[in-house]
Amino acid sequence: MNDYSKWNLPEDRYFDPDPAQRRIAMELYKSAAHLPIIGPHGHVDPRLLADENISFGTPADLLIIPDHYVFRMLYSHGIPLENLGISRRDGGPTEKDHRKVWQIFADHFYLFRGTPTGVWLADELSNVFGIEEKLTRQNAQSIYDQIEAKLKLSEFRPRALFKRFNIEVMCTTDAVTDPLIHHQAIREFGWGDKIRPTFRPDAVINLLTPGWTNNIKALSKASGITVVSYKKFIRALEDRRAFFKSMGTIATDHASETAYTAELTPSAAEAIFKRALQGKAKAEDAKRFNAHMIMEFARMSIDDGLVMQFHVGSIRDHNDLIYHRFGANMGADIPSQSEFTQNLRPLLNKYGADSRLTFILFNLDESTYSRELAPLAGHYPAVKLGPPWWFYDSINGMRRYFDRVMETAGIHNTVGFNDDTRAFPSIPARHDLWRRVSANWIAGLVARGIVDIEDAKEMILDLAYRLAKKAYKIP
């Protein structure tokens, strides 16, 4: 008999119900469940790992306040972010009592039924924190007590969890101007191979980013190259890449609203950059400069071997009110239509046939999976597809990705999984979900006679571990 006051975490969860497929899925899953975690892309704050004694704070600090997946759902039902303890830019009042924040969360936990956040949280609370009861309005404070008590223990410090989670490699995402002091501390601790920075230059590439001029100053300072021209700008970026590489970086990361690429002449690039330095860059300048720089980064990747990640399709900060009051990454980023076939043609014609380049595409427009992305990855040597991203980091999102990508691209033109998370304790839940859904998908192929079990056993190891390690050239 099930006890419905407990979390619902059956051993064979996320598998299709057919018993034959489920048996195969379980066999495959078991072969991959305990492999180390490879996390080549994510947003965990390296500060958490820089000091052995750092703690996560309160349960709300851990699970609600940093997780836009959680608070945007609560906001969508009319709960002000202030009530959830989110800091305002203007220092205005927000809820300080994290028990109240937690109570609101518990009161509305039914909103997460059937969502990935719902299943991650069940897994986290149960398997990381040992909370057996389902969260309800009634038991909210008692569960808060339990988590709070655990978070005080040394075995719930981030480094302890990192070991317990069996993470082999975790990459963070770091501004190009970042001095990487936390990563320096991590290296000194001897974990430099485990926790690696990623080179993210968006804030100096997008000429219209608020504070761009300050970012350029920071770049000058960080590189020691005074960025007074496009030429110097390129030199400063190359300098920073070299520094990041010396700090263990294996990849770069680039975000863009569209996938537009087009090369500028050196003089055109110089002219646009000058206008930007004078504060006179227009939207069209920013667009062309971004399109050009994506190509420049492909060139640099061929030179220095850093894997290039390209995230396309999010319209950031769609809700002005939220942006002005709370800033970026507040759950108000909304995807939009993407186009890759025409937009990437200039880049791919120049660099796509070069196997030294690994160009990993992430996107939020699933209609491009079968139409554009799988055919591109199934042709160009440089192109690989990243795992289903953001809203699609979910059971159905993964199923659609397998369904639409794999027949054309084959699994070897994909790069396995990455968790892309800010929420450190959700890492095992996310990788476990990927491994289960992968195992189920492959089991479906076996059950339908599309692959045999011998091939299936290779495929689950590829998807769970090997493809990520290989694509990201992890030593």
Chain positions 352 to 371 lying near a second copy, rule: CB under 8 A, are 352-353, 355, 364-367, 370-371
CB 209 within 8 A of CB 215: yes
Beta carbon nearer to a second copy, 162 or 389: 389
Binding of a second copy at residue 386 (CB under 8 A)?
A: no
Binding of a second copy at residue 25 (CB under 8 A)?
A: no
Binding of a second copy at residue 14 (CB under 8 A)?
A: yes
Q: Which of 31, 217, 341, 470 binds a second copy (CB under 8 A)?
A: 341
Q: Determine the interface stretch with a second copy among 35-43, 44-52, 280-288, 346-354 (rule: CB under 8 A).
A: 346-354
- Distance, CA of 149 to CA of 156 (rounded, Å): 10
Q: Determine the interface stretch with a second copy among 163-171, 233-241, 259-267, 393-401 (rule: CB under 8 A).
A: 393-401
Q: Which of 395, 415, 427, 468 binds a second copy (CB under 8 A)?
A: 395
* 96 CB burial (10 A radius; 0-12, 13-18, 19+): exposed
For the chain, percent helix, then strand, then coil, each to nearest 5? 50, 10, 40
Beta carbon nearer to a second copy, 225 or 259: 259
Beta carbon nearer to a second copy, 87 or 115: 115
Binding of a second copy at residue 345 (CB under 8 A)?
A: yes
Beta carbon nearer to a second copy, 166 or 396: 396
Beta carbon nearer to a second copy, 179 or 378: 378
Query: Can you say how many angstroms the Cα of residue 226 is from the centroid of all Cα atoms in its chain?
Result: 32
Q: Determine the interface stretch with a second copy among 29-37, 88-96, 202-210, 397-405 (rule: CB under 8 A).
A: 397-405
| Parallel/antiparallel/unpaired status of strands 334-335 and 314-315 | antiparallel
Binding of a second copy at residue 404 (CB under 8 A)?
A: yes
Neighbouring residues of 69: CB distance < 8 A, sequence distance ≥ 6: 116, 117, 331, 423
Number of residues that bind a second copy (CB under 8 A): 97
Straight-line distance from the first to the last Cα atom of the chain, in angstroms, rounded to the nearest whole number: 48
Binding of a second copy at residue 242 (CB under 8 A)?
A: no
Token representation of residue 147: 């988590």
For 280-316, b where at least 16 C-beta lie within 10 A, e where not — what string?
Answer: ebeeebbbbbbbbbbbbbbbbbbebebbbbbbbbbee
Supply the minimum distance, in Å, between the C-beta of residue 144 and a second copy.
22
Provide the H-helix boundaries in 175-252. Answer: 181-188, 202-205, 212-223, 230-246
Binding of a second copy at residue 315 (CB under 8 A)?
A: yes
- Distance, CA of 74 to CA of 136 (rounded, Å): 15
- Distance, CA of 328 to CA of 40 (rounded, Å): 23
Supply the minimum distance, in Å, between the C-beta of residue 129 and a second copy.
19
Q: Determine the interface stretch with a second copy among 32-40, 58-66, 226-234, 439-447 (rule: CB under 8 A).
A: 439-447
Which one, of 440, 435, 443, 441, lies nearest residue 461 by Cα? Answer: 435
- Distance, CA of 354 to CA of 272 (rounded, Å): 29
Site residues for a second copy, 57-96, by CB under 8 A, read 72-73, 75-78
- Distance, CA of 150 to CA of 130 (rounded, Å): 9
Binding of a second copy at residue 458 (CB under 8 A)?
A: yes
Binding of a second copy at residue 294 (CB under 8 A)?
A: no
CB 308 within 8 A of CB 300: no
Which one, of 154, 131, 136, lies nearest residue 56 by Cα? Answer: 154
Binding of a second copy at residue 448 (CB under 8 A)?
A: yes
Token representation of residue 418: 């990455």
Supply the minimum distance, in Å, between the C-beta of residue 274 and a second copy.
31
Supply the minimum distance, in Å, between the C-beta of residue 112 and a second copy.
6
Q: Which of 47, 194, 245, 318 binds a second copy (CB under 8 A)?
A: 318
Q: Determine the interface stretch with a second copy among 89-97, 98-106, 232-240, 447-455 (rule: CB under 8 A).
A: 447-455
Query: Can you say how many angstroms the Cα of residue 340 is from the centroid of all Cα atoms in its chain?
Result: 20
Binding of a second copy at residue 434 (CB under 8 A)?
A: no
Beta carbon nearer to a second copy, 271 or 334: 334
Q: Which of 54, 111, 185, 262 binds a second copy (CB under 8 A)?
A: 111
Token representation of residue 234: 């390129």
CB 326 within 8 A of CB 65: no
The one-letter amino acid code at 406 reads M
Supply the minimum distance, in Å, between the C-beta of residue 18 and a second copy.
4
Site residues for a second copy, 115-154, by CB under 8 A, read 115-116, 118-119
Q: Which of 62, 63, 281, 376 binds a second copy (CB under 8 A)?
A: 376
